[in-house]
Chain A
Amino acid sequence: MLSRHRVFMLSIIALATTALVAIGCGGGDNNDNGGSAAKVPKTLTVGSDIPYTPFEFGKPPYQGLDVDIVKKVASQLGSTAKFKKTPFDTIFRDLAQGKFDMVASATTITPERKKEVDFSDSYFPADQSLMVKQGSDIKTVDDVAGKVIGAQLGTTGADYAKNKTKASSVRTYDLIDDAFNALEAGQVKAVINDCPVSKFAERAHKDLVVVQAIQTNEEYGFAFPKGSDALRTAVNDQLAKLKDNGELAKISDKWLGNEPCALHGSSSASTGTN
């Protein structure tokens, strides 16, 4: 009969070993495609925070603006895209560890993120927006001073809310829909979030309205683990083609029409920054 002390020590060792093995194996999860032989894997695993309507939402195999673009790009490259649902707050970490081949999740290109991952050329303007409940006296970002506002954890919206507004407190939510619900319930007085998504959400949430588009001159890009230049270059090539032949504009129109914050509603995508 093992003494309690021995059992305790053995359990710790067993747990630690399991954890180390898991971490060790997790790192090399690029499946069989490595990156050496084929430029583009046969199946492109795409990490995405679903739902973020109308960029990615619905049931597998999912639909949305990002989904359409990625499917087009993938098929041009002779591969099939497989979207994997993943929480947004750990998406860059997971990508950097190789959990997906790329990330397509309405992700804004920022200098901090570029330290961890590489981005494609930009493909969509990424303005923020201020959304409130109908009848609120908040009209601009200055009006949220001293109030409680909401945003999604890990987004540039949360960043903006914390660092560029005088809100008394910022509540972060795992899913943007939770933030919208909190806004409806009056638990937060405003939500700061990507403009096209909030604008689109007005359709489902009749009480909520975007009162201000916040120009940040930032843009969306697809994200790649560092060192997957071959894939990234291939995707960039296809993106450029879609911009030239008007396909990108068509996809944007399909989902967002002429809404402000859509491709046509503000200055069109600039040339890719890298």
Chain B
Amino acid sequence: MGIFFHQYFDLDIIRDNFSFVLAGFGQTLLLSVVGAALAMSWGLVLALLRQSPGRPMMPVRALAITYIDVLRGIPLLLVILLISGSIPFLTFLPQTLRAPDFFGKPDIFWFGVLAIALTYGAYYAEVYRAGLEGVPYGQTEAARSLGMSHAQSMRHVIVPQAIRRVIPPILNDFIALMKDTSLVQVIGYVEVVRAGREVQAETFNSSALTLGALMFIVFTVPLARLVDRLIARQQAQTRRAPV
């Protein structure tokens, strides 16, 4: 039992490597926030494309559905490896895109962000779709009766309501996204799990991993409680809604 505590809860190791692991967690947060912002925007675009009405838009709808199915069907790890392994060799891309270096973040950061945005964009698209479909049809009828076009009714009436409804699942997916950023380590990016593993390899002790886990918990557990509160509040509102 003593071995267990020494391996995973060695306070000296935790203390000595605290700032290193914390810096890794900072990278986790950065990847998460940038990746999530892009994924949420791209997801909304995808969802709207999927809903575009009318016969001539059928190929657009079909493409959107295919994209969403494929990106939800392959592991994020594969997407990361495929992107990082192929982009440097795509000769039709300018060099600045093949080895991106924007805002001082290295190419592997951007490959990771891209992979996350492409994959989680698909998940978010489905969340938005549920939100859009959950808006009562009467809202569309009212908006169209007032003379609003499809785009106008989407923009002013449907989408704002849809987004309000799906804030809990969006936050839940954000927590999942945040944990998945650890996969970017396979292309060399040092986020919190990688930082822990590097300490582990050098000290033959796994306490830095425990530290990383604690940092995650400090962040994700309050977030999960917030989601619960939001869901409860929404349910109360629905019950109060007048006929």
Contact = CB atoms under 8 A, between A and B. Distances in A.
Do they bind each other? yes
Interface of A: 20, 23-24, 27, 89-90, 92-93, 96-97, 112-113, 115-116, 148, 150, 153-154, 158-159, 169, 171-174, 178, 181-182, 185-188
A97 B3 CA distance: 10
A153 B201 contact: yes
A116 B204 contact: yes
A187 B108 contact: yes
B176 interface: no
B201 A173 contact: no
B188 A150 contact: yes
B197 A89 contact: yes
B4 A171 contact: no
A12 to B, nearest CB: 13
B4 A96 contact: no
Contacts of B88: 185-187
A153 B198 contact: yes
Given A89-B197, A174-B186, A148 B204 contact: no
A89 B200 contact: yes
Interface residues of B, number: 26
Secondary structure at chain B's binding surface: helix, strand, loop or mixed?
A: helix
Interface of B: 1, 3-4, 7, 84-85, 88-89, 99, 106-108, 186-190, 194, 197-198, 200-202, 204-206
B93 to A, nearest CB: 13
Contacts of A115: 204
B108 A171 contact: yes
A149 B95 CA distance: 19
B89 A185 contact: yes
B200 A187 contact: no
Main SS of chain A's interface residues?
helix
A127 to B, nearest CB: 21
B213 to A, nearest CB: 12
Given A171-B188, A182-B188, A187-B188, A92 B204 contact: yes
A90 B200 CA distance: 8
Given A153-B197, A171-B108, A187-B99, A182 B187 contact: yes
A192 to B, nearest CB: 14
A186 B91 CA distance: 13
B203 to A, nearest CB: 8
A159 B7 CA distance: 22
Contacts of B194: 172
Contacts of B188: 150, 171-173, 178, 182, 187-188
Contact of B202 (A27, A97, A159): A159
A89 to B, nearest CB: 4
Contacts of A158: 201
B108 A96 contact: no
Nearest to B86: A185
